[in-house]
Structure 1
Amino acid sequence: MALSITTLLLFSLFLAIFLLVTVPLTGALVRLRANYNPKGLQLDPEDGVQPHTGPVITSFFVMLSRVRQLEGWSGLMKGMMPTLLSNAILSLFSAIFLDASLSSPSNQGVYNSPTSRMWGTLLYSIFLMFVSLPAIIITYRSITTPYRLPYIGPFHSLRVLLTPTELRKPWILYLTPGLLATELLHISYVVIALRALRHMLLPSLSQADDSPLQDLSPRSLIVYLAISLFSTAILCPLEVISTRLAVQRNHESAESNSVVQEEVGDADDLPEYSPAEDVIGMRNDKDPYLGLVDCAKRIIDEEGWGTLYRGWWLTMMFGVFGAFA
């Protein structure tokens, strides 16, 4: 596909609007789901007990307001650079190698592919997930870090966001306990279960071309939308778990010394957004989640079932919009 100037301009305009709208909303949602808020007392390093003193926030809009209050407008735009770079690279890759349209919003995103076939979409989504997984980790960590990262200076930022082990062995990001499995489950459910169901109930919506809808049964549409709504019960916990695992740092490998926790000193010269008060509380890396199941169990035991459904209405809203994507 030839990349004309008009196509590039439309792509740039769409990407700019996309970033201005989604970066603050995504930042608030990531912070809300990453915020560690245990119900009881926690062990300190000397095996004593101490109460958790982090903020208790369970509402998306309260979190959005808190970020604006403590970190200002610049805090709302945290994560913009990795989001910009990852979306631009993935979109250009899809346009050059997969003949996707840069100027079409319908071709943006992991679950939207140039082919409408279920298995083609699944393979496409899994491939893009592998490509974008490090970008997801870096983006989520840049959102939750208290430090003001430079917009220009990616290597300095990476030394703050990644541990020495992750910098020496970048592939270890793919081995982040449970993260890859969580993303694969999420993609498989959306593509295999929901898309296959849409193809059976609403074949008109699965057409690859832009031909007018025919034989769209209101009953089938209601059934599919109802199933999409109930799918929130499965998808939202996976998204919360994915967020928790992505912001969890990988330290020394088990074969070296799993007790040693690396200290990163590259943040010493960076100012903080809110030195007096943290926007969110983070779980201690010295007691990490060990995988998908362990993360889910600990969240339920330490913080309650409701934590797995933070931002559930956003998951439900995206699920409904996805029915017509």
Structure 2
Amino acid sequence: MAAVPLPDPVVRGLPEGSESSGEHLTILYRGPLASCDYDCPYCPFAKRRDSPEQLRADRAALERFTAWVAAQDHPVSVLFTPWGEGVVRSWYRRALVELSHVPHVRRVAIQTNLSHRTAWTSDADLSRLALWATYHPGQVPYERFLGKARDLAERGVRYSVGVVGQPEHLADARRLRADLPDHVYLWVNAAEGRAYTDAEAADWTALDPLFGYSRDPHPSLGRACRTGESVVSVDGDGTVRRCHFVPAVLGNLYDGTFRAGLRPRPCPLDVCDCHIGYVHLEPLGLYDVFAGGILERIPKLA
């Protein structure tokens, strides 16, 4: 995959397939789930345990959210971004399957480490389901992860695979790129707080031609962003914010008060350094780069 230059600013656009369908709302949902089965040293949320009460609360919150999405009369897309690992929980698998069969749901996706079995995807509508998978060297045997990734490809599941750009992960990432099916996009997240030399960046760009977007934080203060207009963040209580990184509340999902707050607005933060945030910054033009694959991080060129 050849390197792709960072584009010039482009005009506002919607994800592929949504231009003629009226209101389209993209929701990043993050419930109270915090438990994860991995212990990645670069993750502040690793190896947490949820009590039975916390798990029941998370399940109830997710079921309430799923019912709300299903009851809407306009197109909706959903990306689940749990602090922990959601797909090992039956209620996340069920939500993904159920929402994939809702006619007005354009895409339902989740961030996952693929530690779960993959057979559940057979019950989903694969034209709407997608997975954003991350490989964590040291947390899972390489062959086990690769086997699940290949199985997803054989089942026809749409997914991307990524790694965190730690120096010690480079050899594993190169091996993974060589072993994954050619059509599977391999992305690289810049390690938090790490300044990459040009030589280091070139190594990662050889694997992910779009690594340049992740390498450095993006100046965002005052820049147009779709969050707060057609993209929102929702927590387990239904509190709606423009994105995960801006604490100001727009309203609540379940009483409908958030709708009055939806409008174009500039970003209030100095920088944006997370893909699920900066992909919505309009000057970057990433809705063209990831056309049809915004939520699952699959670029149009993949």
Is the pair's TM-score, using the shorter chain for normalization, greater than 0.5?
no
TM-score (ref. length: structure 2): 0.26
Compare the two structures and name the one with the higher strand fraction.
2
* Larger RCO, structures 1/2 (Cα 8 Å, 6+ apart): 1
Q: Which has the larger radius of gyration?
A: 1
Compare the two structures and name the one with the higher helix fraction.
1
TM-score (ref. length: structure 1): 0.24
